[in-house]
Structure 1
Amino acid sequence: MKTAMLAGVLAGLLAPAWAMAQSPIDGTWKIDMNRVHLPTKSDVFVLKDGIFDCRSCAPPFKIKADGADHPVSGHPYFDAVAMTVVDDHTVKETDKKNGKVVATTTTTVAPDGRTATFQFSDSSDTQGAPVTGKGTLTRTAKGPAGSHALSGSWRAASYQNLSDNALRMTFKEEGGSLTMHSPTGQSYTARLDGTEAPFHGDPGVTSVSVTKAGPHSFVETDKRDGKTVSIDRMTIHPDGRTMDVAVDNMLRASHMSFVAVKQ
């Protein structure tokens, strides 16, 4: 009788601790830019005879490179693009949505044509300050004869000085659901059984579903109007301080991965 009573008391004491046990994904995570593996798939551009052709864009578009705004369709983050040829090695792209500038990118090709640098500011999917940064590209194929130095195939080689708001994300697992929010305004709360839920704050994602693949693993599937646009696989290391994230971009058929560190 005393043993049963003691067991009951212990169960009562331990139950609250178990119920409040923190999930390994709970907390704020920051991408470690030293442990990012960028997509190996190349971007393809052709700038020739006053026409800019973004062949790798999803969907592709072709506009006059005259510095004026030109409408494009099928892109959730912008509806008009202006391409300005600064000189033989430099171009500036300005993206707008509903008449408002949402992104600018200036790209300069090195004199030898093998590499390029770019600097950008992007507020197309942020509810606050724009995401800013710069980076480098490596040429993987030449453009057609007589075209601008930008023409050809390029692979992203690195990013530098990426603003902090693009690197952080916060998760909370509770009551069979996972909640995510980021400094740029994206958020969701989704059941961990794969049920679709609304995705807020991103024009390119309308719904999300999350499944728990194991005690330390989660799979997030993002969709836009019913079509899968990306699949993210998140696995927390046994130390609880680092998380591997693998991202498959279904629209561009590309893959990247990174390590995030709990703050």
Structure 2
Amino acid sequence: MRHIGMSVALAAIILPATASAQSVFDGRWRVDLGSTELPKKPWVVTLNDRNFRCASCGTPWGIPADGGFHKVAGQNYFDEAAVKRIDPRTIEFHYRKGGRLVETDRISISADGKTFTSVDTDHATPNGELAVYRSTARRSADGAPGAHPLDGSWVTTSYDKGSDNTMTVTMRMEGDRFSFADGTGSHYTATLGGPPVKVEGDLAGRMIAAKRLSPNALQLDASIGGKADSRMIVTVAPDGKKMNVEATNVKQAVTTRFVAYKQ
């Protein structure tokens, strides 16, 4: 399940690294999902006739699996969740924050129970347009005997599709101020070496602090509520056409790598 993770990564990774008249970062970039190197840490869940629990989430959580919304504590991007059984191999997760539906994840499990496809829809983008992501996963450990087919451990194998508003970003530099905007309406402007700034439109109030590592590389540290959340290392190739991104979830100590190309 995405849990808004990919959109957050895209909204936090890209800022120009220099203050030249025309930075190599300026313009429109598109993420290449085929280049993604995903962490091997499994998603570990329990699902039976009564309850759902995510044991591997950064802050573990669980609710009754009765189709209704229930309060969830300790999560940045939702405070209520519901687990709905669509058919024996299809499950939907619905998330709300402040009473507003923010995300729906629909998981379809294969007949042999070894793989699943998840279609995740972000309902709370700043510009009001739906943002859709699709991922696949394979089973890494069996669930309990007699439990739901989702029960057990899963490793994400790919992000194989995303709506266009999730895959492209636009950047601009003005003096020592650097601006970012994505297709969902999320945006921010930061100064390299300056204080953290708010990502406008982020539901959790995410803050970004940018630091230059070299003429073509940045370190971007994200925090939520004053606590470190993620770290991004962004490096532009010498030809200015390719950007390598290394994104680390600080709480879970896992890293994802991918590439973006200038359009």
Instruction: Say whether the fold is shared (TM-score over 0.5).
Output: yes
Q: What are the residue-to-residue correspondences of 1:237-248 with 2, within 5 Å?
A: 237-248=237-248
Aligned residue identity for 2:111:
P
Does the CA contact (< 8 Å) of 1:94 and 1:104 recur in 2? yes
Structure 1 length-normalised TM: 0.87
Assess if the C-alpha contact under 8 Å between 1:177 and 1:190 holds in 2.
yes
SS of residue matched to 1:166: helix
Q: Which residue does 1:202 correspond to in 2?
A: 202
Gap change, CA 1:40 and 1:204, over 3 Å in 2: farther
Structure of greater relative contact order (alpha carbons < 8 Å, 6+ residues apart): 2
Kept in 1, the 8 Å contact 2:192–2:211? The answer is: yes
Q: Please name the residue that 1:32 is paired with.
A: 32
Change (3 A) 1:185 1:24: same
Deviation at 1:205, TM superposition (A): 4.2
Greater Cα radius of gyration, structure 1 or 2 = 1
Question: Which position in structure 2 is the counterpart of 1:69?
Answer: 69
Aligned to 1:253: 253
By how many angstroms is 1:130 displaced? 1.7
Deviation at 1:54, TM superposition (A): 1.2
User: For residues 12-40 of structure 1, what are the alpha-carbon distances to aligned partners after superposition, in whole Å with 9 as ceiling and x for unaligned?
Assistant: xxxxxxx8631111111110112111222
Q: What's the TM-score once normalised by structure 2's chain length?
A: 0.87
Counterpart code for 2:231: I
> Contact 2:34/2:160 (CA < 8 Å) preserved in 1?
no
Aligned to 2:159: 159
What do the CA deviations read for 1:215-261 (whole angstroms, capped 9, x no partner)? Answer: 11111111111111111111000111110011001133211011001
Contact 1:205–1:222 (8 Å) recurs in 2:
no
Residues 36, 159 of structure 2: 8 Å contact kept: no
For structure 1, the residue ranges without an aligned partner over 5 or more in a row are 1-18
- Root-mean-square deviation (Å): 1.8
Counterpart for residue 15 of structure 1: none
Q: Which residue of 2 aligns with 1:133?
A: 133
Q: Provide the rounded CA distance (Å) in 1 between the counterparts of 2:231 and 2:133.
A: 25
Q: How high is the sequence identity, in percent, across the aligned residues?
A: 35
Q: Distance in 2 between matches of 1:21 and 1:225?
A: 35
In the alignment, is the contact (CA less than 8 A) between 1:31 and 1:260 conserved in 2?
A: yes
2: CA distance, partners of 1:77 / 1:124:
10
Report the Cα offset of residue 212 of structure 1. Answer: 1.2
2-structure distance, mates of 1:222, 1:212: 15
Q: Runs in 1 of length 4+ with deviation above 3 angstroms?
A: 124-127
Gaps of 5+ in 2: 1-18
**Number of equivalences:** 245
Residue 161 of structure 1 aligns to a residue whose secondary structure is: strand
